[in-house]
Structure 1
Amino acid sequence: MSGPDTASIPLASRAGRWIVVSTVLGSGVAFLDGSVVNVALPAIGRDTGGGFAVLQWVLDAYLLTLSALLLLGGALGDRYGRRRVFQVGLVVFTAASLGCGLAPTGEALIVARLVQGAGGALLVPGSLALINSTIAAEDRGRAVGTWAGFTGVSSALGPFLGGWLVDAASWRWVFFINVPLAALAFAVTARHVPETRSGQAGPPDLLGSASVTFGLAGATYALIELPARGWTPLTAAALVVGVLGLAAFPFVELRGRHPILPLNLFSSRQFTGANLTTFSVYAALSGALFLLSLQLQQTMGYSALQAGLATLPITVIMLLISGRMGAIAQRTGPRLPMSIGPLGCAAGLVLLTRAQPGAAYLSGVVPGVVVFGLGLSVTVAPLTSAVLASVDADRTGVASGVNNAISRLAGLVAVAVLPLVAGMSDPGGTVGTGFTRAMLISAGACALGGALSWFTVGDRRLGVDPVAVPAVDHCCQDPCTCERP
């Protein structure tokens, strides 16, 4: 099967099952990588040196290219073939993972992470696009549900596996583990997945992609390096490039014939509000979990495995509850859960301020991660449905991609900005005394997300099928990693 979309393969057929296996394996590589890196950060810092800024870059280098190129990756798949772009993403991601594992210095690791993010930007959009373009419409919801369940399991195993690999072998195996999985995914895709493409896809928006990439790169470099280096010609130039690139981006998109970000989507109040909520909540999630992993290991003396297991309740709660919340939002509308859920997240982050030296796990950590997990579970599924219900049916794909990219952008900004505003600039790479302040700032961001939802999101019942939209988180840097269709 080749050429334009021909979604006619039954899920129960041998071909349909192989397609799901391929997408689960391909997505699982990215999801597993995202959920294991946080617990490896202290070990990476000890081995490579470079201080706190290097740890920030290990996360943000990946998120930079992923968030900037994510929409372009989806457009390339539509135009040049989803299977082809998916396989290219696998190759790039795997080669970069090997480079990460072999990196002799922190700088080399950061470069490899940049490439890994570019591979992820080709790989991540292709996973569900392959299902949507090949599986018969009547089976698609079940196929996506199967995909979501298996990828959720891979995300849940990530912190445990990452911690075990760091303690038993080396942080380098956190990246090496991707190689055999991706090789298997490539082989299955090449043999069993048909090629599809959109007959109406226009040329990729390279100018828009360049503008946002240079803008994010310059701004991120300035935000991370200014506390350590101060004002130098390089940091000043990076800030100027960042501001100019980001300022030019909306004008480039308005003039482009095939923009990666159609700005008229934001004429919908609900779409804008839901994406602002996404940015607030997922910025708090990414920044808080980044610093919590460092706090547990550097300040409280946890091993990497113990730190990975410490945040596992968030993923377990997400897997158990998010689907039910999607069904509730289907009946009641998204406004109330999207307002209450972020407040629950905020309460959980306030409780995490008790994660201090001498505190027991059950009293200092568990209450915060459980309450935070409950709040996130209440938020995510209604948020997904609200985004998709705010646009016409033929634009749900691009709306979903925009929301996905915004969630990654939120993580990028949070990892760069939160340590700065919380007063963390320890050259030794430790959290220092700013952990409590950072948790409270993150709690404030979540509360802001709840308020935004209350004033911008409608309360009418949704017409989006909660089975066809997996109610799972899409922050690939955290233990509840997943993506939007």
Structure 2
Amino acid sequence: MSTQTSLDTDTVITAGDGLPPRARGLAIFSIAIGVGMASLDTAIANVALPSIAEQLHTSPAASVWIINVYQLAMVATLLPFAALGEIVGYRRVLLYGLLLFTLASLGCALAWSLPSLVVARLLQGIGASAIMGVNTALLRAIYPAKLLGRGFGTNALVVAVAFAVGPTMASLILSVANWPWLFAINVPLGISAFFLGRKVLPVTPRATHKLDGLTALYNVGAFSLLILLFGDAAHQAGLTTLLPEIIGTAVFFALLLNRQANHKAPMLPIDLIRRPLFALSVVTSICTFAAQGLAFVALPFFFSSSLGRSAIETGFLMTPWAVMVAIMAPIAGRLSDHYSPGALGGIGLAILAIGLISLGLMPASPSIIEISWRMAVCGVGFGFFQAPNLKGFMGSAPPERGGSASGMVATSRLIGQATGAALVAYCFTLSSETGAMLALWIAATFAAVASVASFWRLVVVRR
């Protein structure tokens, strides 16, 4: 074994065909804490924006940067961290990410002004990116091959439930405490996950190539401008804003593709995207998370504005989706060890599309039961999709490219969610009264397209 840094000195576990059961449970628990916090903080700050803006004496428009800078930092740095994980080890990247995320969370809790909070959120997003960029790749070293679907099911469960319950949890915390506690709660959790991870996370094989800093810089520029372009286009910004962003995005992507053209392990994994199964997994993921993003941004507006529900009631109306994901994700993970990810994902996404259509067809004044069973159907479909799609992602990439595959898992998810959120904003610019319903119909369309893409993997496998 090669010489390790101080973060590696506490472990004697090396990558093989999975870890022993007890070590496996502790390792996945450590990762789950980090992944849960990173996923939760993607959504949890939305609910607190009015309180934060008021206390920091800033405008609602300016406070949106508290959300945007976190998402930008994550999307822009996911692939560089995934590439770094292949070179220095996934364990090390995840542990440093946990450490940065925890310290940045403390910085968020202690922030005294909008600029200080935005800087802390930027650092928090970078730490979250390191966690999310390599966590899926680490699962290959934690679980034996025959149980890998269960590992993906657990990972999918943590991500989906954290994202789904974020608004509800934020509402509950804000009902008894001030907004800094939304971030302070991460500190003891992050410290626990870090020290546990030092003990139990396995050391994985490393690639021999070096990280290209210029390629990483081009990647940051390309994806940052892409997300900014999505948001500004959704808000119908003028051509003087959109044109420079379009040109800048195109230039940075061109520089990125040219720079890594002959690299054996490109940071933007074009070599993997050329594989039909991997490409279809990317399409499936982006479309599905666009559908989720559309629904999760539009529905709270519909429940509160159109139906007159309170913030607490709105949070609980979103809960059936999360509950059914929690039930279905482990089941789908176990099934994906025995059945085709394309078929399982396609079935789940067809159910999601049906659930979203049923939400679009709700009566004018639906009861709690009429809302809840529709949300539950969506949760069943979404929960049935995630673990099989992760299996499809990672199974279509060679082990030595596991970091890049893991990075694309998170990148496609965030691009999908950003696309969904941008489309909701566009729907509301078209009509403040019917925008939420329009967003749900677009979400159903995305889910149907994702279902077709997932089923198409069956055709590709047979060729």
Same fold judged by TM-score > 0.5? Answer: yes
CA distance in structure 1 between the aligned counterparts of 2:283 and 2:206, rounded to whole angstroms? 33
- Using a 3 Å threshold, how does the CA distance of structure 1 residues 341 and 223 change in structure 2: closer, same or farther? same
Q: Structure 1 residue aligned with 2:374, among 368, 374, 386?
A: 368
Identity within the alignment, %: 25
Provide the secondary structure at the position in 1 that maps to 2:351. helix
Return 5+ residue gaps in structure 1 as ranges: 462-485
1:11 aligns with 2:16: no
Partner AA of 1:213 in structure 2: V
Partner AA of 1:167 in structure 2: S
CA distance in structure 1 between the aligned counterparts of 2:111 and 2:403, rounded to whole angstroms? 37
CA distance in structure 1 between the aligned counterparts of 2:455 and 2:250, rounded to whole angstroms? 31
TM-score, with normalisation over the residues of structure 2?
0.81
* Corresponding residue of 1:466: none
In the TM superposition, what is the alpha-carbon distance from 1:439 to its structure 2 partner?
A: 1.2
CA distance in structure 1 between the aligned counterparts of 2:425 and 2:21, rounded to whole angstroms? 49
- Using a 3 Å threshold, how does the CA distance of structure 1 residues 328 and 153 change in structure 2: closer, same or farther? closer
Alignment of 1:11-410 (within 5 A): 11-12=20-21, 18-34=26-42, 36-40=44-48, 43=51, 50-51=59-60, 55=64, 57-103=65-111, 109-127=117-135, 129=137, 132-133=140-141, 137=144, 141=148, 144=151, 148=155, 151=158, 155=162, 158-190=166-198, 192-193=199-200, 196=203, 198-225=205-232, 230-231=237-238, 236-353=243-360, 358-363=365-370, 365-392=371-398, 394-410=400-416
CA distance in structure 2 between the aligned counterparts of 1:84 and 1:315, rounded to whole angstroms? 31
Partner AA of 1:401 in structure 2: G
Partner AA of 2:450 in structure 1: G
In the TM superposition, what is the alpha-carbon distance from 1:89 to its structure 2 partner?
A: 1.2
Aligned residues of 1:299 and 1:357 also touching (Cα < 8 A):
no
TM-score, with normalisation over the residues of structure 1?
0.78
Aligned residues of 2:352 and 2:380 also touching (Cα < 8 A):
yes
Partner AA of 1:114 in structure 2: L
Partner AA of 1:453 in structure 2: S
- Using a 3 Å threshold, how does the CA distance of structure 1 residues 99 and 354 change in structure 2: closer, same or farther? farther
- Using a 3 Å threshold, how does the CA distance of structure 1 residues 406 and 358 change in structure 2: closer, same or farther? same
Aligned residues of 1:270 and 1:456 also touching (Cα < 8 A):
yes
CA distance in structure 1 between the aligned counterparts of 2:315 and 2:197, rounded to whole angstroms? 31
CA distance in structure 2 between the aligned counterparts of 1:380 and 1:434, rounded to whole angstroms? 28
In the TM superposition, what is the alpha-carbon distance from 1:79 to its structure 2 partner?
A: 2.7
CA distance in structure 2 between the aligned counterparts of 1:302 and 1:95, rounded to whole angstroms? 36
Partner AA of 2:356 in structure 1: L
- Using a 3 Å threshold, how does the CA distance of structure 1 residues 453 and 211 change in structure 2: closer, same or farther? same
Partner AA of 1:446 in structure 2: A
- Using a 3 Å threshold, how does the CA distance of structure 1 residues 404 and 126 change in structure 2: closer, same or farther? closer
Aligned residues of 1:39 and 1:308 also touching (Cα < 8 A):
no
* Corresponding residue of 1:443: 444
Provide the secondary structure at the position in 2 that maps to 1:261. coil
* Corresponding residue of 2:417: 411
Aligned residues of 1:42 and 1:294 also touching (Cα < 8 A):
no
CA distance in structure 1 between the aligned counterparts of 2:194 and 2:290, rounded to whole angstroms? 32
- Using a 3 Å threshold, how does the CA distance of structure 1 residues 302 and 11 change in structure 2: closer, same or farther? farther
CA distance in structure 1 between the aligned counterparts of 2:301 and 2:254, rounded to whole angstroms? 34
Deviations 1:118-171 (A, max 9, x none): 1111122444555655x5858975994796499479737645432201222233
Provide the secondary structure at the position in 2 that maps to 1:255. coil
In the TM superposition, what is the alpha-carbon distance from 1:255 to its structure 2 partner?
A: 3.4
In the TM superposition, what is the alpha-carbon distance from 1:117 to its structure 2 partner?
A: 1.7
Provide the secondary structure at the position in 2 that maps to 1:280. helix
Partner AA of 2:429 in structure 1: M
CA distance in structure 2 between the aligned counterparts of 1:170 and 1:124, rounded to whole angstroms? 28
- Using a 3 Å threshold, how does the CA distance of structure 1 residues 46 and 369 change in structure 2: closer, same or farther? farther
Aligned length: 451
Aligned residues of 2:356 and 2:441 also touching (Cα < 8 A):
yes
Partner AA of 1:124 in structure 2: M
Return 5+ residue gaps in structure 2 as ranges: 5-12
